[in-house]
Every structure is written in structure tokens, then in C-alpha cells.
């Protein structure tokens, strides 16, 4: 059998992994590629998040495409706006912006007659042979279920929907949430506001990594000696791979080193015993995503800053009422409450073969085969899907490895050997059993609550080494797939 026409590939999402998919598909000779993006510009999470202090927690020299190393980063850990500009420049350089259709929010995808029929919120439709969901992980903001949330009389918004028209100068600002976003936000605004209250449910372990700027001399050296950037890329990968990445999957020695560094940071930075007790976590270090900051502890000790650990009872027009009856009066309320990291491509209604809906297939929990594909959903693939090595790795690197695997998987479709491919239920079930068995050795199941856990308390992460992931992504085992005609 031969395929008389080029494969039509639809990429859903124009963020980091969508841009990558388009570039690599074009390089591999795929000519019928389109990117459908629900927003009005590219960028994904770096477009959606604009809050003060936004910074990537992976070093800039590693959080980049391996084929587009960048000599122009301003700091070791770059601000969000700089990363967005980098993504825009890469998309422009590789001429994939012309493949993007903006304002195209996918609402339904149905596999019928060996094709994916796509329906968008604006009423338009499209047909593709292959769908690549590059929709990311952190793009569905979560608001807490607190009584009276709509009653607040002042400005209120989620950090992922930052309102630039709200002036924080001299205002009494409350931040609900104490994760990485809040810990970046507090130092960025504390000297601007009259009073800042951090409503903390859970304390965080904080690793004091400095964030020095790159000098002009360093940038000039990077431009003139690109090999030094390649060296830095690999150096940071090796550092992450041999420290935190091993600590979270069972290397007790590495975990203890990180725990000591975090504890020393807390005890040396916060002399007041009452505040230090509030900021001391009651769970194993790295059970939640490890936070990097050398400025948070100093910022939260400013005279106008306060950590509130009394639980919230309700939100009222003038502020937040605590369970002890106290009213914390506020002018602005900011939700740093994270994302639903387990929605993935949903709420898109994805309908596979025999009418199987993704919502039903994932009713118990999101499950994929090798983080990329799902039985019953032919020619449907994900980048940064469930059980990808999210941890503290660069997701750009993870997506590059997954895409290299995916391009090999598309070969039988492209040469006409088959019209559809999907993982077998047996292979998918075996992979997920292995994942579940391996997870018991990881720090993520040591007793804390985190966004890593699904509704069953199971981490949707990679429980093995990076080396194993690299090996598995080097080539697909075609015995794990069904080829359909």
C-alpha cells in the first residue's frame, strides 16, 4: 500500500512544544502542517503568565532548544518575558509562524474514516490525518473553593490572568497560595505595597540558588564561541540529572544533601523562631516541586509583610475572614493557586475509534503509553503527556526527546504501510503497571499533597532516571503498537 498524498498533521497549541513540533516536522519533510492556537499569539504558559517576578526555575542555558542555543539571556534564570521573546524569535527564524492559526480553540476532535475531524469554538472545522496535542500541563488555572469568593469588593485575579491595570502601589495586598508562583511574586511586589499578607496553607522547602546576571563580556564570549554554550547546556543537564533528578527517585544521599541545604537556608535566613516555625515544612524535601529562590526569605521579613497560617473561613467584601474570627482587610486579592495539571488536552471532547471518549477512557486517571499515545485513539499523540519527566528538568529537552520518538513512529503512516497506528491495550497496561510499581520508591509518595498527584494520589511523573527516558525515546518498539488499514 502506498500513501498518495502527504500526511496532514494538526498541532494543537503554539507554545514551546507546538513550535518545536512544527519545526521538526518541517525539517523531516512534512509539508501539510498546521498549528491551531486558541489564543491570539504564540507562547503558551510564557504568554499567559505575566505576573511580576515570573522566572523560569530551570537555568536559561538549558531551558532552550538544543538547536537554538541563546547567547542573549540576561540572567542565569531568565524572566518570563525574555523566554516569550525567545520563543517568538525561534518561530520566526524557522518560518513556522505562517503555519499558525490563532483564535482557534479546539472543542471537539473525532476520529472517523481514518481521519481526525476537528471542530473549533468559532464554528470552523478542519481535517487531519494526525493530531499532536501540544497543549502543555500548566494552562488551566485553579481557583480555591472558598465561600464568598465572588463577594470581594476589590480587584481579584489569578496570577495566570494578571491584571496590569490594577495599581498595587500603596495597596493592602493578599496572596492566597505559597507555591513557586507566590514565592516569586512576594519579592517582586513587597516594596511596592503598603501591606502584604501571604495566606499560607503549606510551607515550602526553598533552595537558595543565586540568579546572577550575564555580563556583556560573557554574552560576547558566548556569541564568539558557540561551543561554550553547548558545554553549558550539557553541564546544567548533568548537574540536574545527577542531583535532584536522582534524589526524587530514591537516591537518599542526594536527597539528604538537598534537605541540608534547604534547612540551612531556612535557619540562617529567618532568625525569628515564630516566623521560622511557620515557614518550616512538615514533609520530606522534594515531595513537592523544589523551589529555587535567594530572595523570598528576606522579602517575607519586610516590616510590611506577614505570613498568615490561620485557615480561611470565607471571603467578604472587605477582605478575608479567618477561622479565629479575625478579618484581614485587603484592597487587592491575588490567587497564586496553581493549575489543574491533570487536564492535559481536555476539556476538548476527544472521540476515538468506536466512539470512545477521552473523558471516559481517563475517568479513573490519565493514562498513556510512554506518555505519548492512548489505546483507542489512533494517530493521536501528546507531547508532555502523563508521566513525562516533568520534575525539575527542562520541558524543552523532554519534548525534543519525545518528538524524535514520535517522528519514527509516524514512518509507517508516512510511507503508506498503514493508515493508523495506536498502542495496544496490553502494552499500555503493562507500562502503567510498571510505572505504578516503580513509584513506591520515589519521594513524591512520601506523604505530602502536591499538583504532581492525580485524584487517586498517584504521581503523574517519570519514576526512573533520565538515562532510561532517553533510551526509551531513542526508538519505539513497534511490537507495542497496532497498525490499522
Q: What is the pLDDT of residues 368-411, one digit of tens each?
A: 999 999 999 999 999 999 999 887 789 999 999 999 999 999 99
d(CA 96, CA 26): 9
Domain architecture of the chain: domains with CATH = 8-140+340-484 (3.50.50.60), 149-205+251-335 (3.50.50.60)
- The Cα–Cα gap between 186 and 193 comes to 10
158, 280, 349, 448 from 186: Cα distances, Å: 14, 18, 38, 23
| Helix (H) / strand (E) containing 247 | helix 244-247
What's the CA gap between 402 and 474, in Å, rounded? 9
105 near 39, Cβ under 8 Å?
no
β-pair type (349-351, 106-112): parallel
* Strand pairing category for 32-37 and 8-12: parallel
Residues with Cβ within 8 Å of 282's Cβ and at least 6 positions away in sequence, in order, are: 203
Q: Which helix (H) or strand (E) holds 91?
A: helix 80-93
Q: What is the pLDDT of residue 392?
A: 76
User: 178: which 3 cell numbers?
Assistant: 505559597
**Over the stretch 61-78, which tens digit does the pLDDT of each residue have?**
999 999 999 999 999 999
In order along its 485 residues, the chain shows pLDDT tens digits of 445 579 999 999 999 999 999 999 999 999 999 999 999 999 999 999 999 999 999 999 999 999 999 999 999 999 999 999 999 999 999 999 999 999 999 999 999 999 999 999 999 999 999 999 999 988 899 999 999 999 999 999 999 999 999 999 999 999 999 999 999 999 999 999 999 999 999 999 999 999 999 999 999 999 999 999 999 999 999 999 999 999 999 999 999 999 999 999 999 999 999 999 999 999 999 999 999 999 999 999 999 999 999 999 999 999 999 999 999 999 999 999 999 988 899 999 999 999 999 999 999 999 999 999 999 999 999 999 999 988 778 999 999 999 999 999 999 999 999 999 999 999 999 999 999 999 999 999 999 999 999 989 999 999 999 999 999 999 999 999 999 98
SS3 of residue 343 by DSSP: coil
H/E element, 380: strand 380-382
- Backbone phi and psi for residue 214, each to the nearest 5 degrees, phi listed first: -85, 130
Decide if 292 contacts 320 (C-beta within 8 A): no
Inter-residue contact 35 to 102 (CB < 8 Å): no
| Phi, psi at 8, each rounded to 5° | -90, 120
How far apart (Å, rounded) are the C-alpha atoms in residues 397 and 234?
A: 11
- In 21-34, which positions are buried (b, 16+ CB within 10 angstroms) versus exposed (e)? bbbbbbeeebeebb
Give the whole-angstrom CA distance, residue 155 versus residue 335. 11
Amino acid at each position: 500500500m502506498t500513501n498518495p498524498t502527504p500526511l496532514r498533521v494538526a498541532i494543537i497549541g503554539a507554545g514551546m512544544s507546538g513550535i518545536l513540533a512544527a519545526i521538526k516536522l518541517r525539517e523531516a519533510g512534512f509539508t501539510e502542517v498546521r498549528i491551531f492556537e486558541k489564543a491570539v499569539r504564540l507562547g503558551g504558559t510564557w504568554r499567559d503568565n505575566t505576573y511580576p517576578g515570573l522566572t523560569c526555575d530551570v537555568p536559561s542555558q538549558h531551558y532552550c532548544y538544543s538547536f537554538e542555543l541563546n547567547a542573549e539571556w540576561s540572567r542565569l534564570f531568565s524572566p518570563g518575558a525574555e523566554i516569550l521573546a525567545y520563543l517568538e524569535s525561534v518561530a520566526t527564524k524557522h518560518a513556522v509562524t505562517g503555519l499558525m492559526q490563532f483564535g482557534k480553540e479546539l472543542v471537539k476532535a473525532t476520529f472517523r474514516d481514518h481521519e481526525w475531524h476537528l471542530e473549533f469554538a468559532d464554528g470552523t472545522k478542519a481535517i487531519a490525518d494526525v493530531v499532536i496535542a501540544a497543549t502543555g500541563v500548566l494552562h488551566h488555572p485553579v481557583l480555591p473553593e472558598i465561600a464568598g469568593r465572588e463577594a470581594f469588593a476589590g480587584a481579584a485575579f489569578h496570577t495566570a490572568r494578571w491584571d496590569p491595570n490594577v495599581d498595587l502601589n500603596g495597596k493592602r495586598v493578599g496572596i492566597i497560595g505559597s507555591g513557586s508562583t507566590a514565592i516569586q511574586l512576594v519579592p517582586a511586589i513587597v516594596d511596592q505595597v503598603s501591606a502584604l499578607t501571604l495566606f499560607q496553607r503549606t510551607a515550602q522547602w526553598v533552595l537558595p540558588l543565586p540568579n546572577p546576571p550575564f555580563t556583556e563580556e560573557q554574552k560576547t564570549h558566548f556569541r564568539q564561541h558557540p561551543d561554550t554554550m553547548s558545554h553549558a547546556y550539557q553541564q546544567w543537564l548533568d548537574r540536574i540529572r545527577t542531583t535532584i533528578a536522582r534524589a526524587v527517585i530514591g537516591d537518599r544521599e542526594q536527597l539528604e544533601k538537598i534537605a541540608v541545604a534547604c534547612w540551612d537556608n531556612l535557619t540562617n535566613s529567618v532568625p525569628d523562631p515564630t516566623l521560622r516555625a511557620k515557614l518550616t515544612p512538615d514533609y520530606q524535601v522534594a515531595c513537592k516541586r523544589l523551589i529555587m529562590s535567594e530572595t523570598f526569605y528576606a522579602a517575607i521579613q519586610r516590616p510590611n509583610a506577614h505570613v498568615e497560617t490561620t485557615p480561611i473561613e470565607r471571603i467578604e467584601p472587605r477582605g478575608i475572614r479567618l477561622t479565629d474570627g479575625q478579618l484581614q482587610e485587603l484592597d487587592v486579592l491575588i490567587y497564586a493557586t496553581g493549575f489543574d495539571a491533570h487536564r492535559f488536552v481536555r476539556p476538548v471532547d476527544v472521540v476515538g475509534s468506536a466512539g470512545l471518549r477521552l473523558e471516559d477512557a481517563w475517568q479513573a486517571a490519565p493514562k498513556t503509553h510512554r506518555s505519548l499515545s492512548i489505546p483507542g485513539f489512533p494517530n493521536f499523540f501528546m507531547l508532555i503527556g502523563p508521566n513525562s519527566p516533568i520534575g525539575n528538568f527542562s520541558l524543552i529537552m523532554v519534548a525534543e526527546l519525545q518528538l524524535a520518538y514520535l517522528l519514527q513512529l509516524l514512518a509507517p503512516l508516512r510511507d503508506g504501510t498503514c493508515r493508523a497506528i495506536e498502542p495496544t491495550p496490553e502494552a499500555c497496561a503493562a507500562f502503567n503497571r510498571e510505572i505504578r510499581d516503580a513509584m513506591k520508591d520515589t519521594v513524591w509518595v512520601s506523604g505530602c499533597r502536591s499538583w504532581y498527584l492525580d485524584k487517586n494520589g498517584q504521581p503523574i511523573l517519570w519514576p526512573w532516571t533520565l538515562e532510561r527516558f532517553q533510551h526509551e525515546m531513542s526508538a519505539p518498539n513497534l511490537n507495542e503498537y497496532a497498525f490499522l488499514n
